[in-house]
Amino acid sequence: MSYLVLARKWRPGNFAETVGQEHVLKALTNALDSQRLHHAYLFTGTRGVGKTTIARILAKALNCEQGISAEPCGECTACAEIDEGRFVDLIEVDAASKTKVDDTRELLDNVQFAPARARFKVYLIDEVHMLSGHSFNALLKTLEEPPPHVKFLLATTDPQKLPVTVLSRCLQFNLKRLTPKLIRDHLAHICAAEDIKADAVALAEIARSADGSMRDALSLLDQAIAFCGGDVSESAVADMLGTIDRDYVLRLLKLLADGDGSGLLAAIADIDESFPDYSRLLGDLARSLQRIAVYQVVGSTGANDQLSDAEIAELAARIPPEDVQLFYQTALIGGRDLALAPDPRSGAEMCLLRMLVFRPQDPVDAETLRRTPQVAKAAAVAPAAVSLSTPEPPAAASEQTSTRWVEPVWSELVGELKLTGTVRLLASNCAYLRRDGNVLALALDSRSESLLTRSRQQRLEDALEERFGERLALNIAVGAAEKETPVQQQARLEDEKLRQARVSLESDPNVQALQDMFGAELKPESIEIVPKTGGQEQ
């Protein structure tokens, strides 16, 4: 007998066997039990979450020889033939290959005829969004007033491409992505039933890689069984998926906790020997940092992940909560920008070093990164005991007292910086909030979010470095701020000038005389501030 893949072998045969989607199953069960049946159902959701599976179960429930019920018997001729894919009154159509209007008309020509053997003739149209506009037009009339013996079951991964005229004629059910825990538990159940020894961490990694799709998870489990030669182990699954060994992730987190820059670079050098996926490495770091943050708040994580609860607890005690948040955000941004780096390894290295440099407290400078953690700690506790050779600053630089940092009036500072074009526009639409270490926090007006790009932020940072003689990073958050941006300040000042000008004109004796003598009317909206020569206004 030929081998049957797990995704087909373990396809649910009834609603009770279906994993997840309780909100959909409850609605269908109630409708079937009360005989309140719609003529057209639309199932939407990402791949592998159960759209066509639930549609086939619904077709069985409608045509079971034991009667319409939410629990089809699964043994009668109709149920058996639907399971085997050969039921004459269940017409399954792949809309991706039947996009032409002629195909749709040919399909609908037989709608008027009664079912050959079943209670209902069921049309199951998968990926219905692939139909052409003319095909939808041909389908509309039948969807609106179908014969009583016809039911339409539509499935799609992209409901936004469906015309609203079609959506309004269907009862729509949105299927959700399945959670990693739900997928992992189902994989464990299948492995136990199939007598396959599987490591819990390996199944958790497969569940995460499936990205909410049970079908993808079962396909990956099939692949893992073949890759491992039977038993599914953590190390073999990590090799198959290209994931990073958990020991490396733990090592990196401990080095981050110690502020050990040289150790981080050495760890990356070791990791690089196994040709890793650096994007996945940063993703694994972010996932572990998220678990640490949760543990710091609630004292537990409730997740079966790469790191054990004891390891998470140790790291949660060693890394301050504010550092955990910073590391997490930096890992996310580093993963997103990895494609922009000269090469993946250098991008990952810079991301890790950025975590140390931008720490909220006691920022680490370049000299500290070159020391071992023990020397850095000794220098902090007893600076007189450690001799550090640092180059003397040039005399010219020491004389530039005007570049030393003082809390700025941002609108004045923007005018002093050598900025032009869109970079100046970006700075003018930001409000200064505070300085934390070497990081300046700015708030960007949400209406100007499109101005924020990496290159413009870099040029603004370069201008600030030239102005103050030190490297300052920017943390620009999009959203409203309590402080005014230079643009908002300028607009407010102009409004005040206009208001004062209007009051002055309204009280002017000459204007009042014109109003009394000729019935003249003053139009405040026509008042403008006209610049004089030399920049003054009138």
18-55 residues labelled b (16+ CB within 10 A) or e (exposed): bbbbeebbeebbebbeeeebebbbbbbbbebbbbbbbb
pLDDT band at 372 (very low <50, low <70, confident <90, very high): very low
460-499 residues labelled b (16+ CB within 10 A) or e (exposed): beebbeebbeeebbbbbeeeebeebbbbbbeeeeeeeeee
pLDDT of residue 306: 66
Identify whether the C-beta of residue 111 lies closer than 8 Å to the C-beta of residue 147.
yes
CA distance 431 to 41: 51
Q: What is the DSSP track for 251-295?
A: HHHHHHHHT-HHHHHHHHHHHHTT---HHHHHHHHHHHHHHHHHH
Mean pLDDT over 219-233 rounds to 87
Q: Tell me: the pLDDT tens digits for 306-328?
A: 677 888 888 998 898 889 999 99
* Lookup: tokens for 450: 């499109």
Mean pLDDT over 124-139 rounds to 85
100-109, 191-200, 383-392, 516-525: least confidently modelled range: 383-392
pLDDT of residue 392: 44
CA distance 64 to 77: 8
34-43, 259-268, 285-294, 380-389: least confidently modelled range: 380-389
Looking at the predicted structure, is the pLDDT value of residue 365 above 60? no
Q: At what angle do helices 234-241 and 214-228 cross, to 10 degrees?
A: 110
Of 294-303, 384-393, 408-417, which has the strongest mean pLDDT? 408-417
| Domains (range + CATH), the chain | 6-174 (3.40.50.300), 180-241 (1.10.8.60), 246-379 (1.20.272.10), 409-538 (3.30.300.150)
147-151, 300-304, 503-507: least confidently modelled range: 300-304
pLDDT of residue 510: 76
pLDDT band at 374 (very low <50, low <70, confident <90, very high): very low
Mean pLDDT over 278-303 rounds to 86
Looking at the predicted structure, is the pLDDT value of residue 300 above 80? no
Q: Tell me: the pLDDT tens digits for 410-424?
A: 989 998 888 888 889
pLDDT band at 525 (very low <50, low <70, confident <90, very high): low
pLDDT of residue 535: 45
End-to-end distance of the chain based on CA atoms, in angstroms? 95
Please name the amino acid found at residue 144: E
CA 43-48-49 angle, to 5 degrees, is 50
Q: Tell me: the pLDDT tens digits for 422-434?
A: 889 899 999 999 8
Q: Give backbone dihedrals phi and psi of 320, rounded to 5 degrees, phi first.
A: -60, 150
CA distance 293 to 323: 10
CA nearest neighbour of 180 among 324, 285, 287: 287
Q: Tell me: the pLDDT tens digits for 468-504?
A: 888 899 999 988 777 888 888 888 888 888 888 888 8
* Lookup: tokens for 501: 């000008």
pLDDT band at 349 (very low <50, low <70, confident <90, very high): very high
Looking at the predicted structure, is the pLDDT value of residue 388 above 50? no
Q: Tell me: the pLDDT tens digits for 144-181?
A: 888 889 999 999 998 888 889 888 889 999 999 898 88
285-304 residues labelled b (16+ CB within 10 A) or e (exposed): bbbbbbbbbbbbeeeebebb
Residues 6+ apart with CB under 8 A from 11: 53
Estimate to the nearest angstrom the gap between the alpha carbon of 292 and the chain centroid.
Answer: 20
DSSP code for 537: B
Q: Residue 534: helix, strand or coil by DSSP?
A: coil
pLDDT of residue 381: 39
Mean pLDDT over 458-464 rounds to 91
Q: Tell me: the pLDDT tens digits for 77-114?
A: 999 999 888 899 998 888 877 667 777 777 777 888 88
CA nearest neighbour of 138 among 172, 98, 96: 98
**Model-wide pTM > 0.75:** no
